[in-house]
Each structure stands twice: as structure tokens, then as C-alpha cells.
Amino acid sequence: MRMRSKQILSLSMHLPLVSSSRAFSSKCFPRSISSRTSEHHLEQKEMNLVGAINNALYIALDTDPTAILLGEDVGFGGVFRAAVDLQEKFGKSRVFNTPLCEQGIAGFAVGLASEGSTAIAEIQFADYIFPAFDQIVNEAAKYRFRSGGQFDCGKLTIRTPYGAVGHGGLYHSQSPEAYFTHTPGLRVIVPRSPYQAKGLLLSSIRCPDPVIFFEPKALYRAAKEMVPVNDFEISLYHADVVMEGSDITVIGYGAQLGVLEKACKKAREELNISTEIIDLRSLLPWDKETVCKSVAKTGRCVISHEAPLTSGFGAELAATIQKECFLNLEAPIERVCGYDTPFPLSHEKFYVPDYLKCFAAIRRCMQF
């Protein structure tokens, strides 16, 4: 569905706006939690990842009268149905379709956030975020800095589904997170599960910095887990040690965590290797303390992500680990990533870093 620019401008005259005078804040989790244990007393419901996203959006719109959700087709729920029923609940002035123009979506959201509204923009696929690159990198990320802290568009969150899905081909399978981790002023968040997605998205929406929230679309309906129905947040600062171990540290984020857990299970059963699995959750900033503490303990490290190897975020991890843990390392750091080619349709199963490739890297690292 398309909407003319004049209609967008007309809608903007009726949007709830407040003035913004906030300076930079280093705290983004006033109600943050570090684990599930503190949430066990809350009512829980089984949700898949897209359902958890929908629930988080509902809570954000319900608790913040300045919150606005915009994007291509979000008025009737979006192509993945993450926004289903939200327009019916909150009205067309707060949940509305935009033209098929990613630059316009990002620019409009930057304007909303800079005037004090909580802007939640959806880019339909991460592969199409590039027309919005200038607005995100040169406007949103630098707004506070260039004004000396007088203005900001920190109440901006850009949601976008990323990654392989089995049949997406060139333009519906990419993982462009590393382009944005090179940009000071942004936060980059990637959840791995429904529980994590809800808590991290609510924290992102309420964070006083602009956030790019990458959603692993392959997991949207892949599995369900119990998620608190209530409002809760998860820290945007801390990585999650998913499984403790003593022999090797394995690091990933998003959909790759499931792949790594399968590889680590195989390593444990066949080679008796004790793996420590870390989910970064936040790529910018990333939790250096948790990662380096783990690698200093184990002396070995494997990093994996779907994005291409060269200049992927794993390179930043490897460089920092090599510097900070040099005297503790017992083997070269292994990276298991996508190949340095465009994402192939017919050869996707050979391109993606599956659990067998990750298992082989764990074995190589242990045998060095």
C-alpha cells in the first residue's frame, strides 16, 4: 500500500509531539533485568518471536502517548504481521503506512524523534535499509553531537528483519549490521529468542539513543517460549552467558545462537569439550568485559555470524580479544562466517555458517 507525501505531512500535523531538551544519558535500562529469574513472578504466555515483538510494540504504544509506529504496510500488520491489530487499537495517527521510500521513512522518523515523539520505524527488510543510510548515519547518529547536546533524536528505534531464511536470495537474506557498528552515536541490538526480543525491544524504544534493532526473521515463527505478558526490559549493555564452560568460548548473536548451541552440543557429546556460549545481544556498544573475561578463562575462541567474513563484526571481536587476551590465548581465534560473495539463492545451504562448520572450527581450535 502506498501513501502520498502530502498525506504523510497531513498526518504529521496531528501527531503527539513534546519538546525535547535531554542531554546524552549513559543509562538505558532504568527497569533492566539481567536474567529471567527476577521475572518468574510475572504472568507468562507462550509466544513466538514475532508475537513477542508485537506484544512489545503494543506495550510501547500503550504506555507512551507520544509513541508512533510507521513503515511500509504496518497499518495492516506488515508483511510479517509484527504490527497486526495495532492500528485498530491506537488509530491511524499513531500507526500508519508510509510510501515505499526507506529514506523517507528514516528521515520522517528522525524528525519525529528530534521533536520529542517516540518514533518506531520499520524497514521491511534489512536489505533495503541502504537508501536510508544517510539519514541514519549522518542525521540520527550525529544529531546530539553536532548540537553540543542541545538536541537529540534518541527516541528513535528502527526495526528491521535480517538474515537467511532459506529462500530469500540476494535481496531478502543479507546481514548488514556491521555497516552500522562503525557509526558512533548509534546502538545496534540483535535478539536471539522471543523472551530476549521483547525485553530488548522495549529497552531500545525507551533508550535515549537511536537504536537499530535487527530481528532474525528466520526465527519469527520457528519456536515458542514462555514470555512475561507484563512490561519488562533487558539491559542493552550486557552480553548473556547462555552456557558456562571451561575449554573454549563461542560467541555469536541473533539466529546464529541456535546454530552454535547445536555445534557445542555435538562437541560436548563427541569430543567431551566444555564450551562457554556468549550471546552478545548488543553489538554497539558490545560487552568487552564479559567476552574478554571468558576468553581469558578458556584460552580459546570461536566467533560466528551470517554476514560475510571480511570486515564482519567478528573482525572487531577478534582484534579486541587478541589485544586484551593475548597472553591467555592457546590457539588462533577462529571465525565462521558467510563467504565474501553476494548472498546466493541456489547455494544458500553452502553459504551459511551451519553447525557443522562451527563444530569443525571448535575442533580445530581445540586441536591446535
- For the CA atoms of 255, 215, 53, 197, the dihedral, rounded to the nearest 10 degrees, stands at 50
Q: How far apart are CA 185 and CA 248, in angstroms?
A: 33
Which contiguous run of DSSP H or E holds residue 96?
Answer: strand 95-97
Would residue 40 show up in a list of annotated catalytic residues for this protein? no
The catalytically annotated residue of 172, 261, 306, 334 is 172
How far apart, in Å, are the Cα atoms of 250 and each of 14, 53, 198, 364? 49, 27, 24, 13
Pairing of strands 248-252, 301-308: parallel
Would residue 347 show up in a list of annotated catalytic residues for this protein? no
Q: Can you read off the three cell numbers belonging to residue 14?
A: 496531528
Which contiguous run of DSSP H or E holds residue 157?
Answer: strand 156-162
The catalytically annotated residue of 72, 102, 276, 306 is 102
Neighbours of 2 (CB within 10 A): 11
CA atoms within 13 A on the CB side of 215: 31
How would you class 336 by CB atoms within 10 Å of its CB: exposed for 0-12, middle for 13-18, buried for 19 or more?
buried
Measured N-to-C along each axis, helices 313-324 and 288-298 cross at an angle, to the nearest 10 degrees, of 60
Catalytic positions: 102, 172
